[in-house]
């Protein structure tokens, strides 16, 4: 993988073909390419995603499936999702035969980062929301920036990008397979470092080393904005103090004594309030979780750093800047699959969250319980990848403690690994039951191998005042949408069947 791939000097009128165009990151790149005048074509599977509408709106000529004939004549550049290998995808093989330059998504993101003053947002948790918050604040402050997040963001008009200029570029950057090493940041936001992606990083030291290599890409005088509350991020920052004394280190969180120290966090009535030590201003969020306040703190630190550079003065936002930033935070309604409110029907609030690591599960559940303390929280969780489930099995079991009721499923497999019969969704279910029994805790716990198997029983189990939350990187979100649709179609709540009559796999 080359780290020095470059885009053509001009993209105006260039034919660019996107293989795997419906992926969130690929569709976001398409938006940036369209803004620069490229002629776009693409291909992907027939399944319909929210990105279909985005691609259509910017004029991408889409083909279904992958065939050599889908590659238009006159194509000058091919971009492809990292999920499609060049040695087997028909369109990439055809591009190689024709001698057309190719870039993977991480390589293309890196190439774009070289064209602007770029900031990369990284971490095992929180990078999507931090990027979305940064974009919301940057828009409010009028910064000439392009922002690329890993999910659709409401304040971006339901897209994954917002483009208000090209002097600055802020992007979510991914640690998987060291993809973020393609990026060239002037600033890095580091939210967290924990063991994850066990199919590539066997242990913590492996993934930690990758993050250190990413930080080392910062130029002289570059800035590392890091979460002081996260052990991995704080350790990396401490190591950089001696290795790279030229870097500016900006900590945020409850553990720092600096201006971005989070203080006075309180929740109630569907909102959270907090302050930062360095600013005479209270900030309000209407999305749940203390971890979201940390993400907002990081977004403020990054946005004010860019603002200072743009103005060429000291990093001291004015009272007007603080008011604009606070208003952007208060108006922020989240991003797709990040504590996303799907709707309410029958007195039941339906939400969906992409959290698939024990820390993300624990903090998201805690935040939602604090936000809506009077609602019974029913969590539907589907674990993602055998390797992650096996490596963090005990942590997964413990992370679900605060849910009032649980629904579990089979493990959502990944194409990048083989099934491991030694770890199963049923085994996770049994371990949760055993933990509850040992703690003397009695709560409904159900297991359904298939996602929609339990739709009928859950429709009888749920009651007004509940909050039904699907969690994970799998496709169990379909169950939440199905239940929401069922209750919305009813119009009124018909009454609840007694739990003891359920025939599903359940433990108490």
Predicted confidence (pLDDT) per residue in 46-83, tens digit:
888 888 999 999 999 999 999 999 999 999 999 999 88
- How is residue 380 written in tokens? 């539907």
271 and 369 both lie in a single domain:
no
The per-residue pLDDT for range 84-121, each reduced to its tens digit, is 999 999 999 999 999 999 999 999 999 999 999 999 99
pTM: 0.77
Residue 6 lies in a domain: no
For residue 40, give the nearest of 65, 68, 64, 11 by alpha carbon: 11
Residues 417 and 316 grouped into a single domain: no
E-assigned strand segments in 289-444: 340-345, 348-353, 376-381, 405-408
Tokens standing for 236? 């990396």
Are the beta carbons of 191 and 224 closer than 8 angstroms?
no
Q: How many CA atoms lie within 13 A of 22 on its CB side?
A: 15
Mean pLDDT confidence for 317-333 = 93
- Judged against a pLDDT cut of 60, whether residue 280 lies above it is answered with yes
Question: DSSP letters of 463-499?
Answer: -TTEEEEEESSSSTHHHHHHHHHHHHHHSS------G
Flag whether pLDDT at 334 surpasses 80: no
Kindly state whether residues 88 and 137 are assigned to the same domain. Answer: no
Region at 37 (left for phi over 0; alpha for psi -120 to 50; beta for the rest):
left
Average model confidence (pLDDT) for the chain? 89
Rounded CA-CA distance 365/352 in Å is 11
Same domain (yes/no): 238, 354: no
Q: Which residues pair with 345 in a beta bridge?
A: 348
Structure tokens at 234: 């704080």
> Which residue among 331, 352, 373 closes a domain?
331
**Which band of pLDDT confidence, cut at 50, 70 and 90, is reported for residue 362?**
confident
Could you give the CA distance from residue 162 to residue 148 in angstroms, rounded to a whole number?
7
What's the pLDDT score for residue 500?
29
Domain extent at residue 66? 15-103
Mean pLDDT calculated for residue range 144-160: 87
pLDDT digits (tens, 9 = 90+) for 372-425: 888 899 999 988 888 888 888 888 888 899 899 999 998 888 766 678 888 888
Q: Look up tokens 């371990």; give the residue.
A: 431
Written as six digits, the tokens of 342 are 């799907």
252 and 201 part of one domain: yes
pLDDT for position 497: 36
Residues 213 and 281 in one domain: yes
Is position 109 within any domain?
no
CA distance 210 to 205: 9
- Per the structure block, which two tokens stand in for 307? 């603002």
- CA angle, corner 131, sides to 481 and 224, nearest 5? 145
Residue in this structure with the two tokens 């073909």, named with its chain if needed: 17
* Sign of the C-alpha dihedral computed for residues 389, 390, 392 and 398 taken in this order: positive
- 30 versus 388: the higher-pLDDT residue is 30
Which of 331, 363, 381 delimits the end of a domain?
331
What's the confidence (pLDDT) of residue 290?
84
Tell me: do 351 and 390 sit in the same domain. yes
- At residue 490, the pLDDT reads 76
Q: How many CA atoms lie within 13 A of 142 on its CB side?
A: 5
294 is written with which tokens?
Answer: 């940390």
């Amino acid at each position: 993988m080359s780290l020095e791939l470059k885009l053509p000097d001009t993209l105006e009128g260039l034919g660019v073909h996107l293989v795997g165009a419906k992926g969130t990151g690929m569709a976001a790149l398409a938006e940036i390419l369209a803004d620069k005048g490229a002629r776009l074509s693409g291909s992907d599977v027939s399944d319909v995603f929210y990105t279909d509408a985005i691609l259509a709106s910017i004029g991408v000529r889409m083909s279904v499936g992958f065939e050599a004939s889908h590659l238009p004549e006159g194509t000058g550049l091919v971009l492809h999702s990292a999920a499609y290998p060049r040695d087997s995808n028909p369109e990439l093989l055809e591009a190689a035969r024709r001698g057309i330059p190719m870039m993977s998504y991480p390589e293309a993101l890196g190439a774009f980062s070289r064209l602007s003053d770029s900031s990369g947002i990284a971490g095992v948790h929180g990078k999507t929301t931090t990027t979305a918050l940064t974009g919301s604040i940057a828009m409010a402050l009028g910064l000439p920036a392009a922002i690329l997040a890993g999910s659709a963001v409401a304040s971006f008009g339901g897209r994954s990008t917002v483009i208000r200029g090209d002097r600055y570029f802020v992007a979510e950057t991914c640690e998987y397979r060291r993809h973020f090493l393609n990026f060239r940041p002037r600033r890095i936001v580091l939210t967290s470092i924990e063991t994850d992606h066990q199919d590539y990083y066997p242990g913590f030291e492996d993934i930690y080393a990758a993050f250190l290599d990413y930080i080392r890409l910062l130029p002289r005088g570059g800035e590392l904005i890091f979460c002081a509350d996260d052990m991995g991020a704080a350790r990396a920052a401490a190591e950089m103090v001696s290795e790279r004394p030229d870097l500016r280190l900006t900590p945020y969180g409850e553990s720092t004594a600096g201006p971005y120290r989070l203080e006075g966090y309180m929740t109630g009535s569907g909102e959270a309030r907090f302050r930062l030590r360095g600013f005479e201003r209270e900030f309000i969020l209407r999305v749940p979780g203390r971890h979201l306040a940390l993400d907002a703190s990081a977004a403020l630190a990054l946005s004010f750093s860019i603002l200072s550079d743009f103005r060429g003065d000291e990093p001291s936002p004015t009272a007007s800047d603080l008011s604009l930033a606070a208003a952007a935070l208060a108006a922020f309604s989240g991003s797709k699959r990040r504590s996303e409110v799907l709707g309410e029907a029958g007195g039941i609030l339906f939400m969906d969250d992409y959290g698939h690591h024990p820390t993300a599960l624990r903090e998201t559940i805690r935040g939602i319980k604090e936000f809506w303390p009077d609602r019974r929280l029913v969590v539907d969780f589907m674990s993602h990848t055998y390797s992650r489930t096996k490596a963090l099995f005990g942590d997964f079991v413990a992370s679900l403690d605060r849910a009032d009721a649980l629904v579990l499923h089979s493990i959502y497999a990944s194409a990048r690994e083989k099934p491991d019969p030694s770890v199963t969704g049923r085994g996770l279910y049994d371990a949760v039951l055993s933990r509850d029994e040992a703690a003397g805790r009695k709560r409904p716990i159900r297991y359904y191998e298939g996602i929609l198997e339990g739709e009928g029983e859950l429709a009888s189990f749920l009651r007004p005042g509940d909050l039904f939350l699907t969690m994970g990187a799998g496709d169990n979100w379909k169950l939440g949408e199905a239940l929401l649709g069922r209750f919305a179609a009813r119009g009124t709540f018909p009454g609840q069947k007694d739990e003891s009559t359920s025939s599903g796999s359940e433990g108490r």
